[in-house]
Amino acid sequence: MAEKTLAEVAAGLKARKYSSVELTRAYLARIEQAQPALNALVTVTAESALAAAAVADQRLADGTAGPLTGVPIIHKDIFCTAGVRTTCASRMLSNFISPYDATLVTRLKEAGTVMLGKANMDEFAMGSSNETSYFGPVHNPWDPKVVPGGSSGGSAAAVAARLAPLATATDTGGSIRQPAALCGVTGIKPTYGRVSRYGMIAFASSLDQAGVITVSAEDAAMTLQAMAGFDPRDSTSVDVPVPDYTAELGTPMRGLRIGILTEFFGEGLDPAIEKSVREALAAWQRLGATVKEVSLPNLPLSVPTYYVVAPAECSSNLARFDGVRFGHRCENPKDLMDLYKRSRAEGFGAEVKRRIMTGTYVLSAGYYDAYYLKAQRVRALINEDFRRAFGEVDLLLGPTTPTVAFGIGDKTSDPITMYLNDIYTIGANLAGLPAMSIPCGFAAGLPVGVQLIGPHFSEGRLLAAAHAYQRETDFHLRTPAGWAADFNPASKAGAK
């Protein structure tokens, strides 16, 4: 059972091979067993999960169930969940109980999913390794000594260890795709504006996008179908019809034009990763796709551009956490200024403080034009590079990360080296494009991911290409040693 995909779990529920309550209990037992080793969750909502599962079983029994009814889910702890702690893995919000649900949470709840808990993450989504969390680092189930990636490392580790068949996530500069690659799972970042950001605590508002981490592209299509769509409460939401993603999964690959990003295959790329990615490319060619090399000359500037734009927006967004209205508040402040200073100093971790300071600097008088305005101009050039490329090809392909997962603590003392781990993923965020990572092999015993990027609102094409590849390979179905043990949700062990 642990190896089953979301689609297979949903089919089992529909066929009444097990109930949602039995399934939920089995996953909760698995979480309890895994939590000391992985630290993948911040909060476990066992009681409410079992209550929601009972409601789902009633819907399954009376014939009103949808494709996701009764399926367990874990939400990244950046999404507001009514009556449940929403911490952003920060001391600043460690006591915050949200009074409302994020739109994404509401839609998945209406689809019948059962929330098991909230996933650990980098604090306020700032990090590439899930080591900046106030609640401690998440460990990669493939090797507990290495990172799972970030900021959605808890979501990726949970799906990789099969603690749930799916987990929500967010991507500001690669925070879905990079951990998906390092944990050997499937992750998709939709087009900016495709999924509502209402109730998703903001890091960098022009870059943040909600998405999902699953086992397979088919699972991602099923989930995105329920998540996507216009939301009038989100000013960045785009009112574009949502296609039937699952119906598009069978699209033939013959005639698909894939562009190879030449900038992604240069210095710094692990040769073992390049080998796996090129083997994946050959698989698409066997399925009928054609290949062409494509250059995006301004793409190498994406990292410095991002690390001006993102901290600037972070500085603005996190100004609301001041110890006055909600969140952490220092004890016995001498005056208002002391309240502000000590509450923020105590509430934020080192990486968050670093980015706030950087962002405040680039927005300050005398430096705005030199840094922030120039970064926005370069961002426009990167966007134009992508636009030209998609005049020649349908999808762009390259590695998701330059290396496999690195050791916990290996890069924490060197922020620049850490930032460069997102070198292949940031461009899609700057341009607001949909992108996904799927497993394509292993190097040194750790997973490797291949990245696909498409033009705006081409999620269906991305999912179809990923699905076609996954029908020919089994990398996405492989589970880490020690986490592959089968379990029966209807058994006494699962029903504890």
Kindly give the interhelix angle for 103-110 and 217-227, rounded to the nearest 10 degrees. 110
CB-based contact 217:96 (threshold 8 Å): no
Say whether 20 is catalytic.
Answer: no
Q: Is 206 a catalytic residue?
A: no
Q: Are 49 and 73 in contact (CB under 8 A)?
A: no
At residue 5, what are phi and psi to the nearest 5 degrees?
Answer: -80, 170
Which of the following is catalytic: 20, 175, 302, 343? Answer: 175
Query: What would the two tokens of residue 412 be?
Result: 């924490």
Q: How many CA atoms lie within 13 A of 369 on its CB side?
A: 2
In 3-state terms the chain splits into helix, strand, coil percentages (rounded to 5) of 40, 15, 45
For helices 302-317 and 374-389, angle between their N-to-C axes, nearest 10 degrees: 120
Whether residue 216 lies in the annotated active site? no
SS3 (DSSP) at 143: strand
In whole angstroms, what is the distance from residue 356 CA to residue 317 CA?
Answer: 9
Residues 427/158, Cβ–Cβ less than 8 Å: no
52 token code pair: 């929601």
Number of residues that make up the chain:
496
Which residue among 19, 98, 128, 151 is the active-site one? 151
Residue with tokens 């590439």: 128
- Report the b/e string of 196-216 with b at 16+ CB within 10 A: bbbbbbbbbebbbbbbbbbbb
Q: Which two tokens stand for residue 138?
A: 């998440």
Six-digit token string for 172 = 């500001």
Q: Which residues are marked as active site? A: 76, 151, 175
